[in-house]
Structure 1
Amino acid sequence: MDWQTLATQLFPGGHDITERDNFLSGSAQVDAQAVDVIGTTGHVPIGIEIALAQAQAILKTVQTNPGRPILILVDTQGQRLRHRDEMLGINSYMAHLGKCVDLARRKGHTVIGLVYDQALSGGFITSGLIASACFALPQATIRVMGLPAMARITKVPEERLSELARDNPVFAPGPENYLRMGGLHGIWEHDLAGELARALRECGAEDERMALGHARGGRMLAHPVAQAVRTGSDVRPA
């Protein structure tokens, strides 16, 4: 789905979102409440320019519109792999973007991520994946690392990783697997405007990802380990 069609379905009352060099920004109304919108399109890789543009937009909202919700529309092939970006310290730019999202959440802004096309690697981790809540459309492509790349890095044969992916969502791409792991709070299929309004109403301040992954059977140790660290108790096998 292209971003214009998506925006029309999310905001039937209209919006002022614009695109510049694959960077989206603007605002709209959801249930008579103003929402600031940032995002990417065209499967654009996140280089230093877009990372800074997104960070700047988030900080502007924090400064000028205290408490206003932020919607991040995600369509990216991940971190831009260029020598120039690496030499300029793309990791620091990405970390800065992630810190801005975290700052907005700490300042009381509800930040909703919506993967409407592609969400790969660092471009997803520092945006939608660390929002207050993240959702996806059913046709979205989501993965932090593809199985061929994972095989090269881990030295585990791709055939073996494919076998593991059948039962373990950690190894498998796709919105359904990220839903099982708790990385996604839900998959939106119909009435996108209603789903967004509901997400803004129901989103709390606490990060529920580990608990959701445990409850859905996709990530069984993160939540009990975190609870054990918090309370000083032992981790008991499920």
Structure 2
Amino acid sequence: MRPADILSSLFPAGHQVGEAGGLLSGTGRLDPQTVVDIVGITGKTYPGVDEALALAGRILAIAERPDPAPLLFLVDSGSQRMSRRDELMGLSETLAHLAKALWQAERAGHRTIGLLYGGSAAGAFIATALACGSLVALPGAWPEVMDLPSMARVTKLSVEVLTEKAGTTPVFAPGLDNLFATGAIAEIWDPARPLSDQLKALLATPATADGRAELGRERGGRLKAATIAQEVERLALAHG
């Protein structure tokens, strides 16, 4: 789906969303009473320092408001822009700042929901879609924390070995189905149904603690993460 179609399906009561330099910003109305703040990355844009700071500034302004309006983050990006300029200006720090801005908005009472409708990869994926309180996706989205050639360089395993592992172990594999199996993506929405109804249903569920590891265990994509995290917490509390 194109952004215009997504926004029309999400906000039947109207929306005002602008695009500049690959970034989205504005508001939409689920109904006459419910306003949703919107930010996003579109057009396969590779976010660098400037984009991360612009998005974080918008999100922090929302977090400072006393109203509890939810925040929807639309995502169709490349990976982070790893130019020499961006690296020298502290790309990793500004991406971390963006992720913490989303955490601050959630902490201030604004539900943060990432909607992945295109691609996203690496640090850009982690600092935007995955940093939201809830992450949903549309069919055809293509997330990857790390592509297999990059993973091969880091792990020193061959692409052939990683491809074989990706066939049976979702944590090794890019793609929507694999990220859903690990629990990273909470829901895959049906574009044949009004997206507004699916957003309302998600907002009607209480905000809870991070349950991605538990979802991964239930779906068979990450069988040990939840158990290990619980044991680490138990031991930390026992020695606190």
**Same fold at TM > 0.5:** yes
Residue 224 of structure 2 corresponds to which residue in structure 1? 221
Q: Deviations for 1:73-104, whole angstroms, at most 9, x for unmatched residues?
A: 01110110100000001111101101111111
Residue 20 of structure 2 corresponds to which residue in structure 1? 20
1:3 equivalenced with 2:3 (yes/no):
yes
Shift of 1:232: 2.7
Greater mean alpha carbon deviation, residues 144-153 or residues 78-87: 144-153
1:38 equivalenced with 2:39 (yes/no):
yes
Secondary structure at 1:134's aligned position in 2? strand
Secondary structure at 2:146's aligned position in 1? coil
Equivalent-residue separation in structure 1 for 2:68 and 2:229 (angstroms): 29
Which aligned pairs between 1:119-158 and structure 2 lie closer than 5 A?
119-158=120-159
Equivalent-residue separation in structure 1 for 2:53 and 2:66 (angstroms): 19
Equivalent-residue separation in structure 2 for 1:44 and 1:203 (angstroms): 33
Secondary structure at 1:184's aligned position in 2? coil
Shift of 1:42: 0.8
Shift of 1:231: 2.1
Contact 2:12 2:30 in 1 (8 A): no
User: CA 1:111/1:104 → structure 2, altered by over 3 Å: closer, same or farther?
Assistant: same
Q: Deviations for 1:23-75, whole angstroms, at most 9, x for unmatched residues?
A: 10000112431110000111000111110111011111111253211000011
Which aligned pairs between 1:87-102 and structure 2 lie closer than 5 A?
87-102=88-103
Shift of 1:197: 1.2
Shift of 1:205: 3.0
Residue 202 of structure 1 corresponds to which residue in structure 2? 205
Equivalent-residue separation in structure 1 for 2:208 and 2:97 (angstroms): 21
Deviant stretches of 4+, over 4 Å? none
1:53 equivalenced with 2:54 (yes/no):
yes
Unaligned stretches of 5+ in structure 2? none
Unaligned stretches of 5+ in structure 1? 234-238
Contact 2:152 2:162 in 1 (8 A): yes
Secondary structure at 2:180's aligned position in 1? helix
Secondary structure at 1:38's aligned position in 2? strand
Equivalent-residue separation in structure 2 for 1:47 and 1:180 (angstroms): 29
Q: Deviations for 1:133-187, whole angstroms, at most 9, x for unmatched residues?
A: 1011110011011111211222111111110001100111111111110000011
Contact 1:133 1:203 in 2 (8 A): no
Greater mean alpha carbon deviation, residues 35-44 or residues 122-131: 122-131
Contact 1:151 1:157 in 2 (8 A): yes
Secondary structure at 2:13's aligned position in 1? coil
Secondary structure at 1:226's aligned position in 2? helix
Supply the AA of the counterpart residue of 1:221.
K
Equivalent-residue separation in structure 1 for 2:157 and 2:50 (angstroms): 35
Contact 2:170 2:179 in 1 (8 A): yes
Shift of 1:230: 1.9
Percent identity among equivalent residues?
A: 39
Equivalent-residue separation in structure 2 for 1:65 and 1:174 (angstroms): 38
Normalization by structure 1: what TM-score? 0.94
Supply the AA of the counterpart residue of 2:40.
G
Secondary structure at 1:42's aligned position in 2? strand
Equivalent-residue separation in structure 1 for 2:162 and 2:222 (angstroms): 17
1:113 equivalenced with 2:114 (yes/no):
yes
Alignment RMSD (CA, Å): 1.3
Shift of 1:203: 4.6
Contact 1:23 1:41 in 2 (8 A): yes
Equivalent-residue separation in structure 2 for 1:44 and 1:153 (angstroms): 25
- Give the number of aligned pairs: 233
Supply the AA of the counterpart residue of 2:106.
R
Equivalent-residue separation in structure 1 for 2:185 and 2:156 (angstroms): 29
Supply the AA of the counterpart residue of 2:23.
F
Residue 77 of structure 1 corresponds to which residue in structure 2? 78
